[in-house]
Structure 1
Amino acid sequence: MAIKTTQRLKRDTQGAALTEFALVAPVLILMIMGIFDMAHSSYTNSLMNGAIQKAARDLTLETGVVRQEDIDDRVINQVRNVVPATAKVELVKLSHFEFEDIGQEEEYTDTNGNGKCDGGEPYIDYNNNGQWDKDRGAEGIGGARDAVLYTVNVSYDRLLPMAYLAGLSDTINLSASTVLRNQPYAEQVVSVSQGNC
């Protein structure tokens, strides 16, 4: 009797599809969720780039100084339309005298040769904030003819769970930047000072 039952079970294929689906479903679900997650991140990044480009063009005008808060709010609102309400949205504006100054540290005399500005070493304070900085840009949109680096950073929890199964972080961090020169509505102001680290 046991041999007949074993042979009958060996020939019985009912439920095979269910077993196969149980093996394939987790991988399939993870792939679908991953595709949605990547698509949402890509869409958010594209939207951020478009919003930051438009905002930067508006800020380069002479009226950008007085409309700055309105322009920033417009960028934040556009980003908030596609990210969770708990998302952290940060706008960073750094003005530079020239395009080549962007991302450059403030110059200093490395008297002890350790590759760092320390121990009272003299430096040129390009942004006049009283301290040595790795980026010589001054906060804000600057003045006429200044090159401005405008960046939006967004951080939020993933919309779909299971990121840990794919070895991904639970948080998505996106950033978009653009650089434009302010309109020549006045003479460009040069103001640097010297200090010690």
Structure 2
Amino acid sequence: MAWRAMHHRFRRLRERALLRDQRGVSAVEFGLTAPILFLVVFGTLQVAQGYYVRTVLTGSINAAARKSSLQSGQTNSTTLDTLVSNSIKFVMPTASVTFTRKNYAEFSAVGTPEDFTDTNKNGTYDSTECFVDMNGNGVWDADMGKTGLGGANDVVVYTVTVSYKQWFGFAKMFGLPEYQTIPQTTILKNQPFATQSTRTGTSICP
């Protein structure tokens, strides 16, 4: 009995000693908090990455659009696009950069659909209804803009879209897109280096 009592007391003393032992606590605490810390740090870097790319894109597209509005811009649009692309790829080498330009006679025409005869009065264009083709592509468009830089005094909507794979895999881990896509648009009016061309539509009835 005495031996059992001594054994029980020794075990209690050992348990108390283990409870007071603080060795290795820091390692355990770090192991618990490290994933959260890394998530915050890398998440912040990923947000900063996107902000930096957007800032570079904004500055580049505004500079290119201003040069495109000059008479000289009518023949060097490819060169200007290359300058924008190089600026983006300097900070994000793997980025994919695409460009679109649409031109209009005036600012009020931007994003305006082509006129059509609403035969059935449903408020939307149907494939059997007549329409006025303003951009010359032979089909009805919800945006009457013509592709390209246009001419003197035309309004140009210049859009650059940047797509790149994010540095870290957190987005995919949380079910978000693995690739970040940043579109940027600027609208400028070409300089009056000549007389603005008159735009006329062609009535088309399918």
TM-score bracket, shorter-length normalisation: over 0.9
Query: Which residue in the other structure is 2:125 paired with?
Result: 117
1 CA distance for matches of 2:51 and 2:204? 44
Q: Does 1:139 align with 2:162?
A: no
2 CA distance for matches of 1:144 and 1:52? 20
1 CA distance for matches of 2:21 and 2:144? 75
Query: Which residue in the other structure is 1:62 paired with?
Result: 71
Shift of 1:104: 1.7
Shift of 1:167: 4.6
Shift of 1:166: 4.5
Query: Which residue in the other structure is 1:194 paired with?
Result: 203
Deviations 1:130-163 (A, max 9, x none): 1111211110000110000001001111112222
Report the CA distance shift for 1:28/1:60 in structure 2 as closer, same or farther (over 3 A).
same
Query: Which residue in the other structure is 1:171 paired with?
Result: 179
SS in 2 for 1:149: strand
SS in 1 for 2:76: helix
Deviations 1:81-118 (A, max 9, x none): 11142x22111101011111112222222222344322
1 CA distance for matches of 2:11 and 2:140? 85
Q: CA RMSD in A?
A: 1.5
Report the CA distance shift for 1:5/1:167 in structure 2 as closer, same or farther (over 3 A).
farther
Match of 1:95 among 103, 126, 132: 103
Query: Which residue in the other structure is 1:9 paired with?
Result: 18
Structure 2 residue runs of 5 or longer lacking an equivalent are 1-9
SS in 2 for 1:78: helix
Alignment of 1:14-163 (within 5 A): 14-85=23-94, 87-163=95-171
Deviations 1:10-38 (A, max 9, x none): 11111111111111111110111111111
SS in 2 for 1:150: strand
SS in 2 for 1:93: strand
Shift of 1:164: 3.1
- The TM-score normalised by the length of structure 1 is 0.93
2 CA distance for matches of 1:25 and 1:115? 58
2 CA distance for matches of 1:8 and 1:21? 23
| Equivalent residue letter for 1:11 | R
2 CA distance for matches of 1:35 and 1:159? 12
Greater Cα radius of gyration, structure 1 or 2:
2
How many pairs are equivalent?
Answer: 196
SS in 1 for 2:15: helix
